[in-house]
Amino acid sequence: MWLLDKMLRKLVQKGELNVIDHDGKTYRYGSPDAHHGPITVRLTDRRAAFDIAKDPRLGAGEAYMDGRLVVEPPHEIRDLLLFARYNAPWERPGALKPRGLLRRGAAFAAGRLDQINWKSRSRRNAEHTYNLTRRLYELFLDEDRQYTCAYYRDTANGLEQAQLDKKAHIAAKLDLKPGMKVLDIGCGWGGLALYLHRHYDVDVLGVALAPDQIAFANERAAEAGVADRVKFELKDYREVEGQFDRITSVGLIEHLGTPHYPTFFAHTHRLLKPDGVMFSHCCGRMGRGGTTDAWTRKYIFPGGYIPALSELVSEAERNRLIVSDVEALRYHYAHTLEEWYERTNAARDEIVALYDERFFRMWQFYLAGAEAAFRYGGLVNWQLQYIKRRDAVPMTRDYMFEEEQRLRGLEEAPEWHLSRAAE
């Protein structure tokens, strides 16, 4: 416990944390704070403290999943992870990073090796992440299954409204015209592709690597009677041929890995028409590049990496793509993840029945940890618009605001009820 005790005495500067070791001894940290605490954590075995001190995120994540780290009521794991990040914000560098050049170097090397995503590995990674049961995603996502950051024009809005506003926000940046050909790379369950066709009468090809996502998206297109205009294929983007007026990728860049950025930008440059527009929405990190933590690589997004803006822009520049618009969405994903977490908790019994208690705790830890990273840590969401020709879009951004306002007046978000979790 001495190593964890040393770490926590340095970390906890705001709020109160009590840790009860496996032998019943209580350690107290911090001081009263209006925002967090006092939070009490109980460690149920001798090794838990060492595992957490050695690698805080991997150690704490696995200890929580195994029931070796217990957050005492009335608090829960979300409170603990927000508390930890609240005490180690991005503005306070190094608070939760491995100490020593050797450990930092090993973590960096492991993260880089994990990002080598050749085609077969990319497919396995996508299936690991997205081929979980359909019912799981129905329980915590919005009705349209948008598994990416929502757009909160008002934090009082619900998830359904925020996701509908996200689609309008994206569509407005595409400057679409009827009859255009759109490529949606990493199309998910097809919601954005169907939205673009519905409002602009465009033809859309969506590609992704998770079989169940593609099957579900094609079912939706058939049900809507637009399967001849909105098509979804189980295909690696590197296998797509032809040219497109618009290219979108929402939540796709995070799965590529930095070694594959040159291929991505070179290939999309070939696919994009001379007067075309490419749009990307992705999780991003403030500051310079880094690595993906071991717990996330192991359990949630194998092969994944969240890029710094500089890493994206530099590759676009090498491929003569003009970065014509950049927006940083700062708190939006924190609010999205908070709603996903609450819906996950509301569906606890069904998720445990679908999988088991360990999986449920893993999912809690993933959502709460991600929220903490977006609320206090160094993560944001980037939205970037790329063009080949400087005259491909209007001179000012007014067209975006005007079109987004028009789109918001066309649809109302469906309501979501907690009772759905019990269906």
Q: What is the structure's pLDDT at 303?
A: 84
Rounded Cα–Cα distance for residues 225 and 338 (Å): 35
Tell me if 41 sits within 8 A of 72, measured CB to CB: yes
CATH architecture observed for domain 119-422 = 3-Layer(aba) Sandwich (3.40)
Rounded Cα–Cα distance for residues 344 and 348 (Å): 6
Q: What is the structure's pLDDT at 114?
A: 53
Q: What is the structure's pLDDT at 231?
A: 98
Rounded Cα–Cα distance for residues 73 and 42 (Å): 11
Q: What is the structure's pLDDT at 400?
A: 98
Q: What is the structure's pLDDT at 20?
A: 97
Rounded Cα–Cα distance for residues 19 and 45 (Å): 13
Q: What is the structure's pLDDT at 126?
A: 46
Q: What is the structure's pLDDT at 119?
A: 55
Do β-strands 39-43 and 15-20 pair in parallel, antiparallel, or remain unpaired? parallel
CATH of 2-87 given 2.40.160, 3.30.2020, 3.40.50, 3.30.1050: 3.30.1050
The low-confidence residues of the chain, meaning pLDDT below 70, are 93-131, 417-423
Same CATH topology for 2-87 and 119-422?
A: no
Q: What is the structure's pLDDT at 117?
A: 55
Q: What is the structure's pLDDT at 33?
A: 84
Q: What is the structure's pLDDT at 102?
A: 47
Segments making up each domain of the chain, as ranges: 2-87, 119-422
